[in-house]
Amino acid sequence: MRTKIVSLLIALTFTASFFLPVKAQDQTSYPFYVVQSGDTLSSIADRFDTTQADLISQNGIADANTLAVGSPLTIPSLPGLSGQISILAVQPGETLKGLTLKYQITQDLLLKVNRITSPGEIQTGSALILPVVDESKQKVPISMISASQTLLEVAASTQTNPWNLLSQNDDSSDESIFAWDVLYFTPSQDTKEISPVDAKLTRVTISPLPLEQGKTFVIMVKAPQAVTLQGSLNGMPLNFFSNADNQQVALQGVNAEADPGSTPFTLNGTFADGSSFNFQQSVLLISGNYPEADPLTVDPTTIDPKVTQPEDDMIKNLVTPATSTRYWTGLFLNPTKNYDVATEITANYGERRSYNNGALKNFHTGVDFGGGVGLPITAPADGKVVYADGPLTVRGNTTIIDHGWGVYSAYFHQSEIDVKVGDTVKAGDIIGKVGNTGRVEDANAFVGAGAHLHWEIWVNGIQVDPLDWLSNQYP
């Protein structure tokens, strides 16, 4: 009998083994990343601290050169994470604790997967690997503790109880909550979200982040009541304009030679009820990695500061006013779209330049399009002509168009100007013709030598990469 029982137990154990859970190493759960436009296998591998070989092996990739935008890609280098992950930039006012609450991740894991050794390394603009959280589970900031408030008062104002508020914020007691801390909560239909910048604001964002030399940035502020805003970014005063109900926007360029590192962002405002706020925080600014161009040979007169500085000052004064009317909509058009020949970019924005074998102390402030004398130049967007004259010593025959909200476009070296100051132009209108007037390399070598269009975009007093305006809709 005993033998039969033992045999039965052995049989049952053997049978049950088929239903035991698979060992952890056999069912490793990796997070996945959804491929975005512009991603390459190399950039994804660098971003997630893995290798292209591991990505290929893990995902069964047949052709490393063809990644379909929107397809999920398993990332084998992030232990502790599962589900979908993304790369998100820290926005103004966000803190390490706030990020852990919002994205349902422990502080230790957040620091580990982002290879951060000190919480102080996280600043506005820092790009972090974070889990994508279902909206029903994502916590949002709902209150900011003032110096005179108690937790009970905050709980009453947010229609919850103190213990639930503590639990939602991973706090054990009200002694762990301090003045100006931002409290998070899983939202309901009646939850009123605030910005961690100020409790009377709904949202403050800078996009894209981090800041980058030579790029255009959009600062959005949303508030439930009227507010008069002022601020600055990288030392440039911001101009805010109403974009929609309770929403204001400012556009700002960052100089191609701005110092990488931390740069200040300030925001202050006065509300309709008379109250006010002041906010300041450092924002991460990275290099645009602009290359050095070959030296150019030009007429020495055209690089004499006594000649160039007055011209520069005149142009700067023309593009400084921020017109309150926004004339443009959608993407800008290529100003050479009506060329009869294929358009060729002969010089990109941001290239470091030297003239006549001099010091490398200039950068190319626009984009050069090649072409012959007389090819048509078209307005890239609606606007008003604020300058149409020449030839200037450096810029030759020049046209400048105001598109509103501090955005201007400029066209240099023209052979002919077909508009006048005060004209209203529409996207696609012919405004002039390509030429070689002004500072053009070897312009006297033969008739039409060096002919090209130099095209610039100014955003709130700063020249930015014009090509961005052909592929990105601002704001």
Each residue's pLDDT tens digit, 35-45: 999 899 999 99
Any idea which fold 300-471 has?
A: Glucose Permease (Domain IIA) (2.70.70)
Distance CA 31, CA 45 (A): 14
pLDDT beyond 60 at 175: yes
Any idea which fold 203-286 has?
A: Immunoglobulin-like (2.60.40)
More confident position, 148 or 342: 148
In CATH, 140-185 is 3.10.350.10: yes
pLDDT beyond 60 at 2: no
Does 140-185 match 203-286 in CATH topology? no
pLDDT beyond 60 at 14: no
Which tokens is 83 given?
Answer: 């589900």
Per DSSP, helices labelled H in 169-298 are none
pLDDT beyond 70 at 196: yes
pLDDT beyond 90 at 20: no
The lowest-confidence range among 160-174, 225-239, 278-292, 344-358 is: 160-174
pLDDT beyond 90 at 382: yes
Asked if 194 and 213 touch (Cβ cutoff 8 Å), the reply is no
What integer pLDDT is reported at residue 27 of this predicted model?
40
Distance CA 468, CA 366 (A): 11
Domain map of the chain by residue range?
Answer: 29-131, 140-185, 203-286, 300-471
What integer pLDDT is reported at residue 340 of this predicted model?
55
Indicate the pLDDT class of residue 450, thresholds 50, 70 and 90: confident
Indicate the pLDDT class of residue 13, thresholds 50, 70 and 90: very low
β-pair partners for 262: 284
More confident position, 10 or 120: 120
The lowest-confidence range among 3-12, 220-229, 315-324 is: 3-12
Each residue's pLDDT tens digit, 248-287: 999 999 999 999 999 999 999 999 999 999 999 999 999 9
pLDDT beyond 80 at 23: no
Place of tokens 């312009």: 443
User: Per CATH, the architecture of 29-131 is what?
Assistant: Roll (3.10)
pLDDT beyond 60 at 105: yes
Asked if 234 and 272 touch (Cβ cutoff 8 Å), the reply is no
Instruction: Return the number of other C-beta atoms located less than 10 Å from residue 280's C-beta.
Output: 12
Asked if 318 and 400 touch (Cβ cutoff 8 Å), the reply is yes
Mean pLDDT value across residues 380-393 = 97
pLDDT beyond 90 at 178: no
